[in-house]
Structure 1
């Protein structure tokens, strides 16, 4: 953890020193209005605005807004963060524009193998599946693993059997397959290219949300990387790498070169950094509180009085993504915090993304400069 005080904390220290002697201590505590926020992604990578037609851009933006609207509807009506996350991810899984569910990339053997995970920040319960081939919406199966099984992570045939017992909707192979993804595999094999040469973006989809009760959740779904072999598993279904949620700090969903995100433990690393950054900033403010005759502080700073700033949260997320880049990986993350911040961080030229909050924020974007 960095050994410094954020600019927000420094400003708060000055303000606190000025007002602590003139404002009664109970008056410093204020009720925080309940708020909700949501962020979504549809993959990150090498995205060039000059190579995307206006029609293609409009189609992606419409798909992102559709998913964002589904999550917003849940949160604004008092639904849970977990419900909102799934509501946002399902239309992305159903849309062939994205590499999740329908439209997933092909393995080397010509199959669509799907991964997904979810996590609830209330109790850190989690569910994940990998290598499923017939589940129409893998994100729903991941949640069933979380709520209806004693396990966290199921794979392949076992996960399919569990899905059958839970009566989840299935689909035949042709539902998931698209001509565009098949051509990517054929080009990869014919030219002996890498997955990064044929797929200029990581099409993983995900969502994170904060509900009006102050609970957070995260979910991620993907088809993996074109031409993946030997049962390769990326970060999307790995709790702590591609997905993590903890009410004490944040909820994160990642998209990118999974091997590097696993090595860094990106999702949990961000949440852990935010939790300790929050504590560090509070301690910095507490250190300037006047002492009484016995050397004890005359006032104790409470977490409700000192929310983590959006600048601090962004700094920590950016630092983790910089670490991924230093190792040679790329991609991005979305996150929400208990304060209602909905953020992105990515080290690529673009990321399909969107966010909305109860404060009126509503936006979708694709390229880095947007």
Structure 2
């Protein structure tokens, strides 16, 4: 379950589609093929952005947009419903070269929240916008509005009903269900990290949050340093039970271990996922990461994580379960 790719690329993209995977027994061959096709398309979009002269930010946005547009992942279309039966989405992005970042939380009518997060980073004086204010800013940027109903799927409606039934119809109180009771309801998120030809790193993450989450709940995804981090040293995008990622500032913890202890990227991600996070709550998350030397890490302490990477040869590598990709 380490999920490490143990590869090195000159430039490229690594992605995740969340640790909330279906078990092999529940995954039909057709559905598995659909997930793998979406992951490959995401990698190809990120790779294409780099091939066309784009930078790492362009690559992570392109990769995440594909996953947001797919109904299979808990981000954009296919996002989870909150306890009211409303879909609210969060996203963030960070550029490693200068530490610039942008984030949005609680948006309901923006097709690609990651694009809005990028606009916050590049076209506002702020780092995070939320709710109606974020939606208003999206309109000033000419971003494509969509009816909130477009994001919903039958699968997510069923997951909401199950989440409410487990609580006897009560509003969500954090911690009233075991973290492993339904990992697909808590851990779905998508993200990407990229290294471009100039050596710049970037990371982006997007989510619909927990199934049946409390109205107004925000997890780690839009929190810089918790769900997303990028610096000249490394880029990290996380997936899992967000409250614990926030407590541990988990994405930044990878950077901190590398900077303060001299740990390699591989050593750092294993320490934060298998030691720090697992000690707080077992089987609860994962991440994808890249360092400035092109080392790729896809690490998780759960049964699986939708994931993949692509290097300079343009060949996408994707996986769901097992020990990792190669």
The TM-score normalised by the length of structure 2 is: 0.89
Partner of 1:251: 235
Pick from 304, 307, 310 the counterpart of residue 350 of structure 1: 304
How many angstroms apart in 2 are the aligned matches of 1:175 and 1:200? Answer: 21
Return closer, same or farther for 1:155/1:209 CA change in 2, 3 Å cut-off.
same
How many angstroms apart in 1 are the aligned matches of 2:286 and 2:127? Answer: 24
Stretches of structure 2 that go unaligned for 5 or more consecutive residues are 1-8, 169-176
Pick from 197, 203, 208 the counterpart of residue 193 of structure 2: 208
Deviations 1:233-259 (A, max 9, x none): 100000000001001x10000000000
Measure how far apart 1:315 and its partner are.
1.2
Alignment of 1:270 onto 2:270 = no
Answer with 1 or 2: which has the greater Rg: 1
How many angstroms apart in 2 are the aligned matches of 1:275 and 1:76? Answer: 31
Of the structure 1 ranges 184-193 and 67-76, higher mean CA displacement relative to structure 2 is found in 184-193
User: What SS class does the counterpart of residue 200 from structure 1 fall into?
Assistant: helix
Measure how far apart 1:217 and its partner are.
0.5
User: What SS class does the counterpart of residue 355 from structure 1 fall into?
Assistant: strand
Partner of 2:174: none
The TM-score normalised by the length of structure 1 is: 0.79
Partner of 2:6: none
* Counterpart mapping for 1:280-359 below 5 A: 280=262, 312-322=264-274, 323-328=276-281, 330-358=284-312
Return closer, same or farther for 1:45/1:173 CA change in 2, 3 Å cut-off.
closer
Measure how far apart 1:230 and its partner are.
3.6
Deviations 1:90-130 (A, max 9, x none): 01001010000111000000100000000011110000000
Indicate if the aligned counterparts of 2:84 and 2:215 stay in contact, CA closer than 8 A.
no
Partner of 1:305: none
Alignment of 1:225 onto 2:210 = yes
Measure how far apart 1:51 and its partner are.
2.1
Partner of 1:102: 77
How many angstroms apart in 2 are the aligned matches of 1:361 and 1:86? Answer: 19
How many angstroms apart in 2 are the aligned matches of 1:101 and 1:230? Answer: 18
User: What SS class does the counterpart of residue 163 from structure 1 fall into?
Assistant: helix
* Counterpart mapping for 1:28-107 below 5 A: 35-45=10-20, 47-107=22-82
Pick from 227, 252, 266 the counterpart of residue 242 of structure 1: 227
How many angstroms apart in 1 are the aligned matches of 2:69 and 2:21? Answer: 23
Partner of 1:261: 245
How many angstroms apart in 2 are the aligned matches of 1:195 and 1:142? Answer: 32
How many angstroms apart in 1 are the aligned matches of 2:314 and 2:35? Answer: 22
Measure how far apart 1:187 and its partner are.
2.1
Measure how far apart 1:212 and its partner are.
0.1
User: What SS class does the counterpart of residue 32 from structure 2 fall into?
Assistant: helix
Deviations 1:308-355 (A, max 9, x none): xxxx32111010012111011511000111101121111101000000
Number of matched pairs = 304
Return closer, same or farther for 1:333/1:175 CA change in 2, 3 Å cut-off.
same
How many angstroms apart in 2 are the aligned matches of 1:195 and 1:178? Answer: 25
How many angstroms apart in 1 are the aligned matches of 2:54 and 2:223? Answer: 26
How many angstroms apart in 2 are the aligned matches of 1:156 and 1:122? Answer: 29
Higher helix share: 1
Alignment of 1:174 onto 2:149 = yes
Choose between structure 1 and 2 for higher RCO, CA contacts under 8 A separated by at least 6 residues: 2
What is the RMSD of the two structures over their aligned residues, measured on CA atoms? 1.8
How many angstroms apart in 2 are the aligned matches of 1:365 and 1:64? Answer: 9
User: What SS class does the counterpart of residue 19 from structure 2 fall into?
Assistant: strand
Deviations 1:142-170 (A, max 9, x none): 00100111110111111111111111111
Alignment of 1:137 onto 2:112 = yes
User: What SS class does the counterpart of residue 67 from structure 1 fall into?
Assistant: helix
Measure how far apart 1:366 and its partner are.
0.1
Measure how far apart 1:46 and its partner are.
5.6
Of the structure 1 ranges 211-220 and 176-185, higher mean CA displacement relative to structure 2 is found in 176-185
How many angstroms apart in 2 are the aligned matches of 1:226 and 1:45? Answer: 11
How many angstroms apart in 1 are the aligned matches of 2:314 and 2:73? Answer: 27
Deviations 1:14-40 (A, max 9, x none): xxxxxxxxxxxxxxxxxxxx9312100
- Which consecutive segments of 4 or more residues in structure 1 shift more than 6 A? none
